[in-house]
Every structure is written in structure tokens, then in C-alpha cells.
Chain A
Amino acid sequence: METFVIGLSIGSILFMVALGLAIIYGTMKVINLAHGEMVMIGAYVTVLATRHLGLNIYLCLPLAFLVTAMFGLAIERSVVSRLYGRLLDTLLATWGIALILQQLVRIHFGLALFGIKIDGLGADLQNVPVPVELQQTWHLLGANIPVYRAFVFGIAVLLGAATWWLLYRTRFGSQLRAVSVARNTAAACGVNDKKVNALAFAYGCGLAGVAGVLVSGFKTVSPDMGTSYVVDAFLVVVAGGVGQLLGTFAAAGILGEVQSFVATWLNDVYGRTVLFAVVILILLFKPQGLFVTKSR
């Protein structure tokens, strides 16, 4: 049972990161290799905010969303939008941005060069204080369920619902969906597709930032923590079927559980290995993803 819960929380983090990536990929067909760094930034926002501003983790959630969304907007406007249509090149450019962001954190955004160090940045590992109420453990059905993991799951569901509402119940959402499916037609109907791109990118990054806040609660924060998330997240996106919100949710859940169970049974390394292997197989034999509508 514990393994199942762990799997749920792994899946929840995966889901939030993947959702952001899915929105970006779905709208612009861009693979944002800097997405993992958005998670990292969200985590560092938490570190700095709790340390210097005295905020608790709940307030960090929206704060991180805003900060990473702004980073995302900046990246989109300055680099990604100029590479429209050149997908492989965008991959490389975003990887470059990831390298830059990682190193910026290591050198305290340049201040370290002048001898100024900000507590909470730098190459060392950081930790984030978790509110007491989240450190408890529930005892349910004979199993020990850490409250924090349930919290993570809860936030993931909340974000999923919020995203669903955004995509299917707001004007922006329908514009985004229109641009994802038929960009030129949408533009011909008056949708400002460049603006949609920028906002979609920002929103996607914001989601990753929120994931980062939650990750900081149970993992140590370091500048290179983000890299592993992006590959996993992309695999979830394509396994679930691009453009399918429910598919991403289900794929994240399934893959989170797979990883958790294999990790418990064998070890962490094999957990990830099997995860990758499973997704590669899915990609190879069902390239549209697990849940898909057949179309031309």
C-alpha cells in the first residue's frame, strides 16, 4: 500500500511536469528541454521565500507559479518564438537555456563573481522546511500514508482540474486548443497565435514551477535536480497521447506506479530503467500514445 501511495505521489509530480510540457508541446510542437529547470526554479523560489520572506509552503505555490511563468514568457519571447517550425533546433536551444539557468543558480545569478552570496542559492544542497501539519502520517487501512504525499496528490488533482477548466471553459482555452489543432485556421479566424504561444508556454512553465515547490518538500534542492524530470515528463506526454489531458493524467499515474513498484522490488535505478523501457515500447508500438482519437 505504501508503495502505491508513493507511486501516486511520483505520478502526481510527473503529471504536473508533464502537463506543462504537454501544453507547450501540444500548442507549439516544441520540446522544452529547459522544463526541468522550471521545476528547479520553483524549488529555489520556495527555498528563498521560506528563508528570506518567511513564507510558508502554501504561499510559495502561487508565487512559484508566477515566477516560473515569467521565466517561461521571457524564454518564449526571446528564443523559442524565433525558432518557429524548427523543432530539432528548439530542442538544442532550450537545452542551452537549461545549462544557463543551472549555472546562474550556481553562481548566485552572477553575484558570486563579485563575492556576494545569497543564502539559498549556490551549488550546495538546500532544504525546505515543511509545515508541521504536513509532516504527519495518517494511518489508513492498516497502512502509513505520509500526509505530504497525499498533499502532493491533492495539489496535482487541483491543478489538473484547473487546467481542464482553463482549456475547456474559457475563451483562452478554446483559442489554445484551436491553435494546437489548426494554427493557420485559428489565425485566420482572428486568434493571435503568437500571444497564445507565449501564454501557453508561460502557463506550462508555471505548472512545472508548482511541481518544483512540492518536490522541494521531500527532496533536497540542488541546481541540477531538474534534468531528470524533463525526459520522464516528455515520455509521459507521448505515452499518454499528445493533446489528451486525460491521457497525460492516466499515463503519469500508470508510469508513477510502475516506477514505484519496480523501485521497491528491485531498486531505484531499475525503477527508472523499466520506466524508460516501457515508454520506448509504447512509443514504438503505439506512436500516437495510449489514448488517442484516430484521425487523418
Chain B
Amino acid sequence: MNAVTRIEAARPQAATPPILTTRNLTVRFDDFPAVSNVDLSIEDGELRVIIGANGAGKSTLLDLLCGKVLPSEGEIWLRDRNITGIGEAAIARGGVGRKFQTPAVFKEMTVLENLQIASNRYVKVRDNLFRRFSRGPTDRELAVAERTGLSSFMKRKAGELSHGQLQWLELAMVLSQDPKVILLDEPAAGMTAAETDKTAELLLALAGEHTVLVIEHDMAFVRRICRTITVLHQGSVLAEGTADDIEKNPAVIEAYLGSATLSHA
């Protein structure tokens, strides 16, 4: 369906701008450039993976995209809307959902309540003053729960779930937001092999209706899900392409001290 090619071959006939673009994105912490001059262009429905060594700037890049960190230079565009610096809540309302490395869910609330909060269409104070949540799940919430395997846990307090289930819950919450772009920070972290497989399947299924941007370490996982990989090194884009392209790329090989780190499994 989506044959994504390298960034260099920009399609001149693209009538609508790509869903997510960054231009010259840079952020410095005390003169240390954590991310520098990153130009990213992600098409609708794409499943893009970002890899890189620790400290390469991957999480920082996600922080920039979801609004957690303000860039020192550069811009971020969501389709034709400049979302640089408009704040996390506004970016989220614009259709960007983020899933964190350590699952960030509301542990004191039940699974259902978590989903309700996430799927709530109304975010302003006045809209929530008189409306109530329904006692049971709506169809949408049920659907999301089913997709992530949580339908039998609706009434459980989130704090009682296992780590893998927490990851799923957070994913379910992000999906409930019905986002255009989903940012995932190491979604398979801490999961068993079976859970990892499920995650990979889910991500592949999500691509297409949503645009998915994944940060990952586990090359086996990456190989299963990826279309295009972006390699970050010391804050800049080192290379982009399919898995095979990346592995053969001399710059990448050099950066990773030989190909051993790239092609296990």
C-alpha cells in the first residue's frame, strides 16, 4: 500500500504536505546539541522507525515532537500547521499521541476510567462540568480494549496490571485519542517474546489508518515492522532507508563499530 521511499526522492506531485515534517530542528541543552538540524518528512500512514545509539537524541526528538521540549531552532509542522511551541495539550488535540518508554498511565484509576479519560472528546473545563462518563464502556472503548487484549480487565485498577499489560493500556489510551500521528518510545521494552510479537502485529495493523513513528533498539523487532528506518547519531540524521540499505551504509557501519550491532536475529 504505502511504498515509502527515501527522503531524497521527494515526490514533486505531492498535493498534500506530509503529515509530519520538521525543518532544521535543533535543541541545545547548555550548549550541548542534543538534536541538530534534523529534517524529517513522514508521509500519511507511514510506519517509520528511528534507531540510534544511546544518547543519539531519539527520545529528545520525540520530546520535541510532542511538545515536551522547546526547540532552540527549527520548526515542526503537522500537515500545514506549524505546531512549534504551541504546548503539549494543543499538540495532543491536534492529533499527536505519545506512548512513553515507562508506561505513563493513571495507576489509581481503573482500566475503564483510564480509557474514558483518554477518549474523552471534550477537553475544556466548561465542557466537562455537566457531562458524565457512562458507567460502562462505549463501543469505541470496547473496541480499543479488545484490540489491546484488555477487555477482561476493565474494572481492575491500573496499578494492578503487569508491566506488559501496562504497556498495552497506554497504547490503548493513545489509540483512544484517535490520533493522526502516534509516537512510540520503545514500545516493546520489557515485553516477553509473545507480547513483542503481538505488539509488532498491532503496529503493522495501525500503519495506514494512522501514522506511526517508533523509536526502537531491538533490531529484530525493527526488522519485523519497519518500512523506512531513520538512523540518528549524535543528534543528527545519519541515514535513512530500508533495513537493508541501512545495514550496508558505510557511515552507519562506522558509527556502530561494525555490523554486529545491526544484524542480530
- Chain A positions within 8 Å of B, measured between CB atoms, are 293-296
Please measure, in the bound complex, the distance between the C-alpha atom of A293 and the C-alpha atom of B29, giving whole angstroms.
10
Which residues in chain B, 1-58, are within 8 Å of chain A measured between CB atoms? 29-30
- Residues from chain A with Cβ under 8 Å of B30 in the complex: 293-295
Question: In the complex, A240→B130 CA distance in Å?
Answer: 44
In the complex formed, the residue of B with least CB distance to A294 is B30
Smallest distance from the beta carbon of A206 to chain B beta carbons, Å?
34
6 contacts between A and B (CB under 8 A): A293-B30, A294-B29, A294-B30, A295-B29, A295-B30, A296-B29
Which of under 10, 10 to 19, 20 to 34, or 35 or more describes the interface residues of B?
under 10
**CA distance in complex: A294, B72 (Å):** 13
Distance in angstroms between the alpha carbons of A294 and B34 in the assembled complex: 13
* Most B-side CB within 10 Å, residue of A293, A295, A296: A296
Top 6 nearest A-B pairs (CB, nearest first) are A294-B30, A296-B29, A295-B30, A295-B29, A293-B30, A294-B29
Q: Smallest CB–CB gap between B141 and chain A, Å? A: 33
**Nearest chain A CB to B29's CB is how many angstroms away?**
5
Residue of B nearest to A293 (CB): B30
Shortest beta-carbon distance from A76 to chain B in Å: 29
Q: Which residues of B contact A296 (CB under 8 A)?
A: 29
In whole Å, how far is A85's beta carbon from the nearest beta carbon of chain B?
Answer: 15
List B contacts of A294 (CB < 8 A). Answer: 29-30
B264–chain A nearest beta-carbon distance, Å: 28
Residue numbers in A under 8 Å from B29 (CB-CB): 294-296
C-alpha spacing A293/B30, complex, angstroms: 7
Residue of chain A at shortest CB distance from B30: A294
> Least Cβ distance of B8 to chain A in Å?
33
How far in angstroms is the closest Cβ of chain A from B145?
Answer: 32
- In this complex, what residue of A is CB-closest to B31? A294
A294–B30 Cα gap in the complex (Å)?
6
By beta carbon, the residue of chain A nearest B28 is A294
Please report the C-alpha to C-alpha distance between residue A21 and residue B29 in the assembled complex, in whole angstroms.
28
- Nearest CB of chain B from residue A117's CB, rounded to whole Å: 52
Q: Within the assembled complex, what's the spacing in Å between the Cα atoms of A121 and B116? A: 60
Q: How far is the CA of A293 from the CA of B31 in the complex (A)?
A: 11
Residues of B within 8 Å of A293, CB to CB, are 30
Chain A nearest CB: distance from B120 CB in Å? 27
The smallest beta-carbon distance between B118 and chain A, in angstroms, is 26
B237 CB to closest chain A CB (Å) equals 21
Docked pose: A295 CA to B31 CA in angstroms: 10
Shortest distance from the beta carbon of A179 to any chain B beta carbon, whole Å: 22
Docked pose: A66 CA to B29 CA in angstroms: 42
Q: How many angstroms from the CA of A294 to the CA of B32 in the assembled complex? A: 11
How far in angstroms is the closest Cβ of chain A from B64? 12
Smallest CB–CB gap between B72 and chain A, Å? Answer: 11
Measured CB to CB, the nearest residue on chain A to B34 is: A296
The CA-CA distance from A245 to B30 in the complex, in Å, is 20
**Cα distance A296–B32 when bound, in Å?**
11
On chain B, the residues within 8 Å of A295 by CB distance are 29-30
**CA separation between A237 and B25, bound complex, in Å?**
35
Report the minimum CB–CB distance from B208 to chain A (whole Å): 35
Cα(A295)–Cα(B29), bound, Å: 5
- Distance of A185 from chain B, by nearest CB (Å): 15
CB distance from A44 to the nearest CB of B (A): 45
Nearest A-chain residue to B29, judged by Cβ: A296
Complexed CA–CA distance, A295 and B28 (Å): 9
Q: Nearest Cβ distance between residue B242 and chain A, in whole angstroms?
A: 33
Q: How far is the CB of B71 from chain A (nearest CB, A)?
A: 14
Distance (whole angstroms) from the CB of A289 to the closest CB of chain B: 16
- Residue of chain A at shortest CB distance from B63: A296
Tell me the complex Cα distance, A294–B29, Å.
7
B58 to chain A, nearest CB (A): 15
Question: How long is the Cα–Cα vector from A296 to B30 in the complex, in angstroms?
Answer: 9
Q: Give complex CA distance A294, B28 in Å.
A: 10
Considering only CB atoms, which chain B residue lies closest to A296 in the complex?
Answer: B29
B99 to chain A: closest CB distance in Å?
20
> CA A189 – CA B29 in complex, angstroms?
26
